[in-house]
């Protein structure tokens, strides 16, 4: 139990955690162990009314504000120093309507919560590749995952959202209500309010799918990537795939003598009948001399959580990323040269394949702008918190050098993959001029004084005249 803090929020029924509380350190911790911030107050909200009360309280007290959903964003914007964290992590309920094929998901839910609830009915929606990722942060930035080529991004499946604005008002955003806000939420991040619930469209998936990785030795990287390029060029939309370059994770299903061996892996998930998937991926399994083949029929929920232990809470993480219009021989050579130069056996690069429903959705339909690219690559430096600072410095240098080599071939960047040291120019890069301009106009309408600015910020395009009321709070993206 939390101790009774001297601070009280009118109309707030959740739990308030202060620095004197024995739960404080655990409550303020986020996924990235590099982030160590000490808020003055953590407001653990029980529902939307609590969120609205907390926002109003923060504005009145001129408190810095961060908004916590899953707490999984690498830049750690879910937590702040000296201010108040509006914590949605208790709000994790998921209600499934199997007739309408929709799910209503609270803003603090994790993707594992969604998969657990929806798979009971043989349904799913696109949602990440790690089950302890938060629904809010992933969705608001776009939402890539295994099902995106068949069923679109998370934002393409978003039907409506409930939003608490900087004024503490509760709005419903959909195609029919506040459609401009609805457009902006689908890719524009947490710039426009605190999203307390999401309603998603669901699709028949599983419960058994053909999924899993195949690994080859690192020295085979160039040949594997060239083969992979040809494989995915003609692949059906049902085939989702991710290339992983680094070492073979120390998973229980992998022989111990292969743990942390440098390798390239191609992981797939076929969003259709297993027997159809077996025909599609047959050539992949026969290519070269795999070190290990873990591809086979598996429960979708197990596949969604299969790599959770390779990116646990508390490790130190640092990301760099770029979109790629294609996978040329030159890009393949750069990837093969840099991917295995990390010193930490836990660092890796991952490359996501787009196309399909992502590309088929009109570019201007949502604020997400990466629909024309073929691949996205994230360079994920990871090391243990007890390791010497020089280890972290080396991993950060590796990630930066890798990105620098790829930048001449970059075609944008996924906003969810930006780290804390990525400047405003990279935010513009994530959207492009036209989309950024429209987002700025909508920002000016719903948050003219940029109250929600501790994020990958969209600055208001045309701020309204001041009402004379001082707006001192600052808020972070749903993380």
pLDDT digits (tens, 9 = 90+) for 450-468: 888 878 889 998 643 443 3
- Work out the average pLDDT over 97-125: 98
CA 127 to chain centre: 9
C-alpha 371/C-alpha 273 separation (Å) is 26
**pLDDT score, position 450:** 83
pLDDT at 464: 39
The predicted pLDDT at position 455 comes to 86
Contact between 55 and 194 (Cβ < 8 Å) = yes
Instruction: Provide the CATH number for the domain formed by 15-87 in this structure.
Output: 3.30.43.10
b (16+ CB within 10 A) / e for 297-330: ebbbbbbbbbbeebbeeebbbbbbbbbbeebeee
pLDDT of residue 462: 62
Question: Which residue from 378, 233, 259, 253 is spatially nearest to 303, judged by alpha carbons?
Answer: 253
pTM (2 d.p.):
0.93
Count of beta carbons in the 10 Å neighbourhood of residue 1:
7
| Other beta carbons within 10 Å of 436 | 21
Residue 449's pLDDT is what? 79
pLDDT at residue number 477? 40
Locate all alpha helices (DSSP H) within 44-192, ordered by sequence. Answer: 48-61, 111-119, 135-141, 148-151, 179-185
CATH architecture of the domain with residue range 94-204:
2-Layer Sandwich (3.30)
Cβ 207 vs Cβ 116: under 8 Å: no
- List where CATH 3.30.465.10 sits in the chain: 94-204
Mean pLDDT value of segment 192-211: 97
The 10s digit of each residue's pLDDT in 27-55 is 999 999 999 999 999 999 999 999 999 99
Q: Is the pLDDT of residue 320 over 90?
A: yes
The tens digit of pLDDT for each residue in 340-373 reads 999 999 999 999 999 999 999 999 999 999 999 9
Q: In the predicted model, what is the mean pLDDT of residues 136-163?
A: 98
> Is 2 a residue whose pLDDT tops 60?
no
**How much is the average pLDDT of 419-426?**
91
pLDDT of residue 473 exceeding 70: no
Overall CATH class of domain 208-425: alpha beta
pLDDT of residue 7: 82
Average pLDDT over residues 58-77: 91
Percent of the chain's residues with pLDDT above 90: 89
227 vs 465, more confident: 227
Mean per-residue pLDDT of the chain: 93
Q: How far is CA 201 from the centre of its chain?
A: 19
Could you tell me which residue, 9 or 471, shows the higher pLDDT? 9
Q: Please tell me the predicted confidence (pLDDT) of residue 65.
A: 86
Domain with CATH 3.30.43.10 in the chain: 15-87
At residue 206, the pLDDT reads: 94
pLDDT tens-digit readout, 253-309: 899 999 999 999 999 999 999 999 999 999 999 999 999 999 999 999 999 999 999
Q: What is the pLDDT of residues 326-338, one digit of tens each?
A: 999 999 999 999 9
Quick check: 339 pLDDT over 90? yes
Kindly state the tokens that stand for 415. 């906003």
Separation of alpha carbons 46 and 40, rounded Å: 19
In the chain, CATH 3.40.462.20 sits at 208-425
């Amino acid at each position: 139990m939390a101790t009774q803090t001297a601070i009280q929020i009118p109309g707030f029924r959740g739990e308030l955690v202060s620095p004197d509380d024995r739960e404080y350190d655990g409550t303020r911790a986020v996924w990235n162990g590099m982030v160590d911030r000490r808020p003055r107050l953590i407001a653990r909200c029980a529902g939307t009314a609590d969120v609205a009360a907390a926002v109003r309280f923060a504005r009145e007290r001129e408190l810095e504000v961060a908004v916590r959903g899953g707490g999984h964003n690498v830049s750690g914007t879910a937590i702040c120093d000296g201010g108040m964290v509006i914590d949605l992590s208790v709000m994790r309920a998921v209600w499934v309507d199997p007739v309408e094929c929709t799910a209503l998901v609270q803003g603090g839910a994790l993707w594992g919560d969604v998969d657990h609830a929806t798979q009971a009915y043989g349904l799913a929606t696109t949602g990440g590749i790690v089950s302890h990722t938060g629904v809010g942060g992933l969705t608001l930035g776009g939402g890539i995952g295994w099902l995106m080529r068949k069923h679109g991004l998370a934002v393409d499946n978003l039907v409506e959202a409930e939003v608490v604005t900087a004024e503490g008002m509760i709005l419903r955003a959909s195609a029919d209500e506040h459609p401009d806000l609805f457009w902006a939420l689908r890719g524009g991040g947490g710039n426009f309010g605190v999203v307390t619930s999401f309603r998603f469209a669901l699709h028949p998936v599983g419960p058994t799918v053909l999924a899993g990785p195949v690994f080859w030795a690192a020295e085979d990287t160039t040949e594997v990537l060239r083969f992979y390029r040809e494989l995915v060029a003609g692949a059906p939309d049902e085939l989702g795939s991710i290339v992983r370059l680094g070492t073979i994770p120390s998973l229980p299903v992998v022989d111990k003598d292969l743990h942390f061996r440098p390798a390239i892996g191609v992981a797939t998930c076929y969003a259709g009948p297993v027997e159809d998937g077996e025909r599609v991926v047959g050539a992949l399994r026969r290519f070269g001399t795999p070190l290990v083949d873990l591809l086979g029929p598996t429960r979708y929920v197990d596949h969604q959580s299969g790599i959770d232990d390779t990116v646990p809470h508390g490790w130190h993480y640092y990301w760099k990323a770029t979109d790629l219009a294609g996978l040329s021989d030159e890009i393949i050579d750069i990837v093969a040269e840099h991917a295995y130069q990390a010193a930490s056996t836990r660092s890796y690069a991952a490359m996501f394949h787009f196309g399909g429903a992502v590309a088929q959705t009109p570019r201007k339909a949502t604020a997400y702008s990466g629909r024309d690219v073929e691949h996205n690559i994230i360079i994920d430096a990871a090391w243990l918190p007890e390791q010497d600072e020089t280890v972290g410095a080396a991993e950060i240098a590796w990630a930066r050098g890798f990105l620098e080599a790829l930048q001449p071939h970059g075609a944008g960047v996924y906003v969810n993959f930006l780290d804390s040291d990525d400047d405003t120019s990279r935010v513009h890069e994530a959207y492009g001029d036209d989309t950024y301009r429209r987002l700025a106009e909508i920002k000016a309408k719903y948050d003219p004084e940029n109250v929600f600015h501790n994020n990958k910020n969209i600055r208001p395009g045309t701020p309204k005249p001041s009402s004379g009321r001082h707006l001192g709070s600052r808020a972070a993206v749903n993380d």
